[in-house]
Structures are given as C-alpha cells and as structure tokens.
Structure 1
Amino acid sequence: MTFSLIGRCARTGQLGAAATTSSLAVGARVHAVAPRIGAVLTQHRTDPRLGPRGIALLRSGCSAEETIAALVASTPDHKWRQLAAIDAAGRTAHFHGARVKPASNAAHGRDVVAIGNILSSDEVPAAMAEAFAADPSLPLAERLVRGLEAGEAAGGEYGDVRSASLLVHGDHDFALVDLRVDGDAAPITRLRALWEEYAPLVDAYVVRVIDPDNAIAL
C-alpha cells in the first residue's frame, strides 16, 4: 500500500522523491536519491537494498531504463518488487513484478515518474505526475508534495496511510530537504505543514555548511 514519485527540476538539476504508505518509516525504505546522479524507488514487498544498488548503477553511467533492467535481472524475487528510476537527464523507467497487488500503475511525465500499489484507483499515479508537471517554476520539493497530495485526492491507497516522506538533493553531497512523518493519521497533511515550515530555512542551512562565517542564527 504505497504511492510515491521521483522527479527532477530542469532549472536547478535538483533530484528528489516523496512517498507515503500504510506502514511506518517509508522514508527509510522506499527511496534513494544522489545529487546529479538520479533517484530510485523500491516498494511493494520492499527491498531497501535495491535503492543504493540502483544509485550505483546510475552513477556508473546506466540510464534509468538500463538501471531498472539490471535491478530486475539481478533480483531473484523481482516478482514481488515495484521499482522506478530517474537519471540525471530526467529519463524515467519502472517495473511491476507479476505479484504486485492491484490496483497498481505507473505514470511518466517530463522529469517525473509516479508509481503505486494496492491503490483505490489505478488513476492515482497519473494524478501525481500531472500535479508535479503543472508548474515547473516551483521548487522541486513543493512539486513533489503536490504530487503526493494529488495522489491522495485521486483516491490514494486502498486503506489509510501512516507515514510520508520528502527527500531532495541539490549540488552538494547532503540533502537539501529530508522530512519524515511516522505514525500519523494524516501524514501527507503533516508533511505539507513541515515543508512549509522548513522551506524558508533551506538556503540558510546550506550556508551553514559551505560558509559558516556568514551563517545566521536559526
């Protein structure tokens, strides 16, 4: 019972992911993102090892499509896995194993791929991708949150979600945004509130890392 998306900002080169599910700790298991390299989703009977493995493939020069093909070929239990990848050029790919439970689907758009399983409607990923693509001028994190919100509005999971996460990387080898909600009755709503509180601080936290002499008190 998971729906998620990964996306790229063509203006900034930022890469990110957002996800929600019925169990705890979606942010610890489902997505992997590397700056200027790409991002990977692994869900359904989730194998969190596939995220870092996918990032290594992308880093080696594989496209999103080649990365997914290699992950499937190297994973004996691929019939249980639902995977997606985006590379630094914004190309996307996905895989649904034969035992991924319905309703499940995927949707691709410019610089985005959304996937989901055990959904109330197979239209959920398309709603997510459309919301992400609607205004490319917005910050990537905002577009990802809007994607989750659109997925929920389109019906979301078959049951209730309990955790949600948002992860964005820019030029540096640390996350610009890494927000997680666990054990909440409305995790997407809570994630929205956290992002709106954190958004004005993103640049200040970057300055603390790269130019601490000029950092401001927070």
Structure 2
Amino acid sequence: MTFSIVARSDDGRFHGVAVASKFLAVGALVPAAEAEVGALATQAHANLAYGPQGLALLRTGLGAADVIAGLTAADSGRASRQLGVVDAEGGAATYTGPDCHDWAGGQAGDGWAAQGNILVGPEVVDAMRDAWLGGDGGRRFAERLLDALRAGDEAGGDRRGRQSAALLVVARRGGYGGGTDVVIDLRVDDHPDPVTELARLLDVHVMLFEKPDPATLLDLTGELATEVAALLSAAGHAPAEAVDAAVDAALADWAGVENLEERMVPGRIDPVVLAHLRSHP
C-alpha cells in the first residue's frame, strides 16, 4: 500500500524517511527516526511495534540488516511485512515478506533503502533509487528525499492511486531553536496529489525555519534600512525612531509575528526575509 525511502545524509548528520501511499495519514504510521541512531519505515501489513523496537535495536549499535533480522524473527506475521532500515553508520537493508501484495520489493545501498508494495511495478523502486543516487549532493537532505519520493510517484507509485505523503528528518539539535532533534515532520494526510502538496509544505518550512546563509546577509543600514523602515510602517510595525537599531528592533518584532524569527540576525537582514517583507500586502 506504500512506497518509501529511508536514508542518511552523506555527512552522517541527518537521517530521514519520505513516504507516500493510497492510505489515510501514512505519516502517522510508517516513518520512525532518531538522531545519530537511524531511521526506518514499516509498511505493507505494517507492524507498528517495528518503529520503537527497531530504534531500540539501532540504539544498541546493531546494523540495519541485523535489526531487520531481529524484528522479523520474532514476528509471526513477518510474511506480510515490509521494512527498510538505515543505521547510524549508513548501513542499509530492506525486507519484503513473500505475502506482500504485488508488486512488492525493495533495494538498498550505502546510506539508503527504497521499498514499496501494491505498486504498478518495480520501476517505482528503480526510479527512487536512480533519483537518490543521481541527486545533487549540494541539495538539502530533505529535498533529496522528496526528489526520490517524487520520482517514485511519477513512475506510477501505488497502483491504487494517491492519498497521503510524509517527510520526517532528524539531526542532533537540528530542530526549531535547537531545542529538538526533529528537523522536519511534515504530513499530508488526505489529498488528491499528496507528493506535490508535500513539496509545497517543504518550501514553506524552508522559508520559515531554516537558518539564513551567512554569505547572503545584508547590512541593515543606509538606503536599505530606510526601505525596510517604510515597509515595516506599512505593515503596522513602524520603528520607534529613524535609527538603524530601532529599525532592527521593529524588524525582529514583525518577524516574530510572521514566524520568521529563526532567520533573524541582529543588524542584518536575510534576503529571504526581505523578499517576504517586500511582498507583504
């Protein structure tokens, strides 16, 4: 009922899962990940205990293949299960029980595993593999996962149709404000084109929550500070006075309302923030 990719970033910092299915709220069931531990997807006639149990096994240092062996050996329903696992070191393995509905299967390589069931055919997994391996290493890890999921979707995906998709990415202290390991947890629970909608949500997430690129920051002085002050005034956040520090304070106040606080750098402005301010009605 599902196709997914689980992976680790090349630098080992990120682990994640991207998944889509003709099934309501697939993101609530299939993906599981823990920073610096690993990631897994449990699907087909999913055994939801595989999530916490698999992470517990990974936490002990077991490799991906051994985790799958341990989980399936203790499960009388293993013939109808499907599972993909990537461990902390980038070892990967996939398992498809013989009773999974056709087409069902998976592939794994260094740092990734792709699998699916009730698919139009093996070309779905092939497409995910090729997209992952051929992806631009400069792309954000989450974008690479989504690219692979989109490739599987465009190759036909779940032969019953489309309904939901999800993206989960973790990294040590990589989440909001550095206070969580959950970098991204986006879910499209019921939608006619869930992978496209997931891509839209990821774009919004990047705009709101990603840290700015230091190389692109602009000094909030001179003509730019004057422009920003005018834009803030039009948005109802007029600076207290016409000095750079007051403009900076007003910008931070506006950014908090717009949920852009992660992109704030005192005395400077992120071009992403500036573009959003300029487009503000």
| TM-score under structure 1 length normalisation | 0.91
- CA shift, 1:123, in A, is 1.7
Match of 2:140 in 1: 139
Match of 1:17 in 2: 17
Q: Report the aligned-residue RMSD.
A: 1.7
% identity of equivalent residues: 36
Match of 1:63 in 2: 63
Match of 2:199 in 1: 192
- CA shift, 1:9, in A, is 0.7
Conservation of the 8 A alpha-carbon contact between 2:12 and 2:88: no
Conservation of the 8 A alpha-carbon contact between 1:105 and 1:123: no
Secondary structure (helix, strand or coil) at the match of 1:79 reads: helix
CA distance in 1, matches of 2:26, 2:169: 15
Letter in 2 for 1:187: P
Higher RCO, 1 or 2 (CA under 8 Å, sep at least 6)? 1
Matched, 1:148 2:174: no
Match of 1:47 in 2: 47
Conservation of the 8 A alpha-carbon contact between 2:6 and 2:114: yes
Conservation of the 8 A alpha-carbon contact between 1:133 and 1:143: no
Match of 2:113 in 1: 113
Relative to its length, the structure with more strand (as a share) is 1
With over 3 angstroms needed to count, the CA separation of the structure-2 counterparts of 1:18 and 1:189, relative to structure 1, is: same
Match of 1:27 in 2: 27
CA distance in 2, matches of 1:201, 1:58: 32
Letter in 1 for 2:150: E
- Stretches of structure 1 that go unaligned for 5 or more consecutive residues are 205-213
| TM-score under structure 2 length normalisation | 0.71
CA distance in 1, matches of 2:91, 2:208: 30
With over 3 angstroms needed to count, the CA separation of the structure-2 counterparts of 1:201 and 1:110, relative to structure 1, is: farther
Post-superposition, which runs of at least 4 consecutive aligned residues in structure 1 deviate over 4 A?
A: none
Conservation of the 8 A alpha-carbon contact between 2:2 and 2:22: yes
